[in-house]
């Protein structure tokens, strides 16, 4: 699976250079990375919230761990 990802990335870079669109490729790359970080932080907050709620329920005796 890693080989497929590497081939896709290398192919994208080569095609963007050949088409003269390396600047757009770089912009899209950084925008995608920014979106990935934002989604990760959002999901981290949700997971932390639910882990806290689960811990409260566990401590209250409503749920046995």
Q: What is the pLDDT of residues 8-36, one digit of tens each?
A: 999 999 999 999 999 999 999 999 999 99
Biggest alpha carbon–alpha carbon distance for the chain: 64
Q: Is residue 49 part of a domain?
A: yes
Q: Is residue 48 part of a domain?
A: yes
Q: Is residue 65 part of a domain?
A: no
- The pTM for the full model equals 0.68
pLDDT band at 39 (very low <50, low <70, confident <90, very high): very high
Rounded Cα–Cα distance for residues 47 and 42 (Å)? 9
* Mean predicted confidence (pLDDT) in 50-60: 93
Count of structural domains within the chain: 1
Which pair of structure tokens corresponds to residue 37?
């970080």
* Residue-range definition of the domain harbouring residue 35: 2-60
Pick the more confident residue, 64 or 15.
15
Rounded Cα–Cα distance for residues 46 and 44 (Å)? 5
């Amino acid at each position: 699976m890693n080989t497929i990802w590497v081939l896709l990335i290398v192919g994208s870079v080569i095609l963007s250079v050949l088409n003269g669109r390396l600047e757009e490729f770089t912009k899209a790359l950084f925008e995608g990375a920014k979106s990935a970080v934002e989604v990760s932080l959002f999901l981290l907050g949700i997971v932390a919230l639910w882990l806290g709620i689960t811990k409260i329920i566990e401590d209250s005796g409503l749920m046995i761990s």
